[in-house]
Structure 1
Amino acid sequence: MTTFEEGTPAKTDVHHGKLSLAEIFETLLGGDLKIRITAYDGSSAGPEDAEFGLNLKTPRGTTYLVTAPGDLGLARAYVSGDLELIGAHPGDPYGALQALAEDLNFKRPSPLALAQIARSLGIEHFKPITPPPQEALPRWRRFAEGLRHSKTRDAEVISYHYDVSNAFYEWVLGPSMTYTCAVYPDADASLETAQENKYRLIFDKLRLKPGDRLLDIGCGWGGMVRYAARRGVKALGVTLSAEQAEWAQQAIADEGLADLAEVRHSDYRDVPESDFDAVSSIGLTEHIGVGNYPSYFSFMRDKARVGGLVLNHSITRPDNMKSSRAGSFIDRYVFPDGELTGSGKIISKMQDIGGLEVVHEENFRYHYASTLRDWNRNLVDHWDEAVEEVGVGTARLWGLYMAGCRIGFERDIVQLHHVLAVKLDDKGRQSLPLRPWWDA
């Protein structure tokens, strides 16, 4: 095994021949490999009996890896089919990613080692090439769509992620068509049971009852809207995805809920109605931008009546210090312009606008890991249909993204928080029960 620490002479520095592709991989990964590495030049490294492995199939894959080191290059090579994860179904590469994550301990090669790697690969691999078609433009090239988090640009990036195909989402998400963290009442609960339980929990936290009015912003396919309407609540949902709105309105009609429920294709900032008994945001905050939190939470406060409740459900970071911007893979392939921060910052921004009192928060990160596990299983079960519907590259991307995010939740790289607040009157009063009133 060859590793490099910056400034430390290393074995490869005195290796005068060319390195094979597997040796280069082995060198850059560092540590004792737990996976098997094979490459199109016939080379290999790592234990022969490893359960999982990487197979670099083409020179194009090498170029992707060299020109974008780290997760972005790996994603490009994998999505394009130039890199295979051996031992894992492409709809659920969780096991292979776990094993790979154990080996991803990149060491900075010494200058001599870098020079030898360059000589071994050839200069042609260091010239950037066109990325896979599933990749969004880098941040600096999105200005044609408007300033970050402007209405125009938000509509573009939401469409990029959510207007993939309603049929594809039905296969992955299941009958609930719910693309947010479920809440599992027990470890053996099904995905559908957990999603229904999530809506039940939010409904109860918001103290909704027949005759109340609910605004659900970023409502997706209208799961919360329909759940509330079935219980006599007049519910309005808004989404920037035209395909979501069309699907949701049809589902509302099919269930005979048109008198109580509506899903509108609209920016949440354009909702004219107000005086709602409750306002929910389930999975929208990730798209808002931390700099826009004051106006975002002010909007939610202003749309609620005095004494009304506001619930924010969003992916968070485990601290409040790191950069809010997503990494290259997530930004280019999953949520362009997405931003995450800690629950502490979310709470403080809600408090700082005035007029809202935060009364409860909780973390559901293990529930999201389980949700992603079940979405991956659904993709595996419907792999052939998914590939026919969206293409193998996009299907591979979704398998990779969901399995990778599952690992992120398991390892406390990301979390999922509910933050519940109440709108105070002008004297700072509210009349909620003294203790939580819902069944956890």
Structure 2
Amino acid sequence: MSVLDAIGETPLIPLTRVTAGIAAAVHLKAEFLNPGGSVKDRAALAMVRAAEESGELKPGGVIVEGTSGNTGIGLTIIAAQRGYRAVVVVPDKSSAEKLAILRAYGAEVIVTTGGVTRDDPRHVSQVAARLAAETPGGWLANQYDNPANPGAHYATTGPEIWRQTGGRVTHFVAGVGTGGTISGTGAYLREAGPVTIVGADPENSVYGGGDGSPYYVESIGHYVHPDTLEDVWPQSYHREVVDRIERVGDRESIEMTRRLAREEGLLVGASAGTAVVVALRVARELGPDGLVVVLAPDSGRAYLSKYFDDGWLRRTGFPAPPVPGPLVGDGPVTAPVLVPAAARVRDLTGATGVALLVLPRQGGLSPSPGDVVGSVPVDAVAGAAPDTPLAELAQPPLPTVGAGEAAAEAIGRTSADAGWLAVLTDGRIAGVVPRGALLTPGGTAR
């Protein structure tokens, strides 16, 4: 016996309070109870076993992976138990808790730039592939394209759900990240009986038809940089298995995540919040014979500094318990001047205030901070030739503050050199405000 024998056989937990008024039953598959705290333990173990059997991973070898954190944690636990080294590459948007957990298990953690094109050498997948190739004994797990990823769920997660429900499950709901969980589990359940497979996706993710812009829910969805030449989807995601995809905004996902903790006693990550929102939508369509199983991928303990932190919510513009004012949003917030990253000085003719250089996106959503590549005070272009690219005159993106954040806190954590601040509502830039407008005539926060 070892810790690896504790992977899988997670319980189904009926939801009882967030389901008020719904006739169908909704049961949550508690994957956060795996040893590494997430569903990714299953795929990690299956991928390592397959690599050992094929000879790709040899005794004393080095496991390398690019991940938002959870798969890396699972692989690092296995590495610790079986005597491998683990090198894990994560994007800079991953939570601090995930980095701390990886290091606690002995992983060498490489943090790289997120929000870049897949072919950028700084991309998580590029860095991981390079390190695996350069490291003696290195093996790249490659969860996005490794058939052992969906295979793990076809062999374990699907059969468990079918057995635990006595074959009564009518709908299965899961988020789509690498696609392995929903593809493998869904394939088994569809073969076992007439089960409808529903994907849960962030509103901006391209899986469900979003614009590919950044979002705040970790470990789910598919971001696409606008300069991407070819959008390559993971081979672990078998689209034909999924009957439909439902999109959920960041705000609704985060609010449900917090509700699950306070109303159901379930501390889970925001990707579980996304999936539960969808599960409840599905359940409302059903009668008392419906049984929806929703998979909760990971634990909220990996996100205590984010979704469960009231200060983080205020700073990013999401709803949070109120604080004494005045608040940032109480002031003279104005709409930002948005121009393409490739714009020129002549494009600011007649504009006032500050312009934000944004990556081009389709759709009418306000910009995500991750799509802003620079800022230009309009008065700073005076005298410049009309054909001058604004990128040559641009300053860094504006510091961000939340609309519901106390003005004093916003002043305290932003530089006095910042002329303007970008104001966030639900994580997106809803306006801009001169930093000085948050100060009283005496120079203190209003």
TM-score by length of 1: 0.30
The answer to which structure, 1 or 2, has the higher relative contact order (CA under 8 A, 6+ apart) is 1
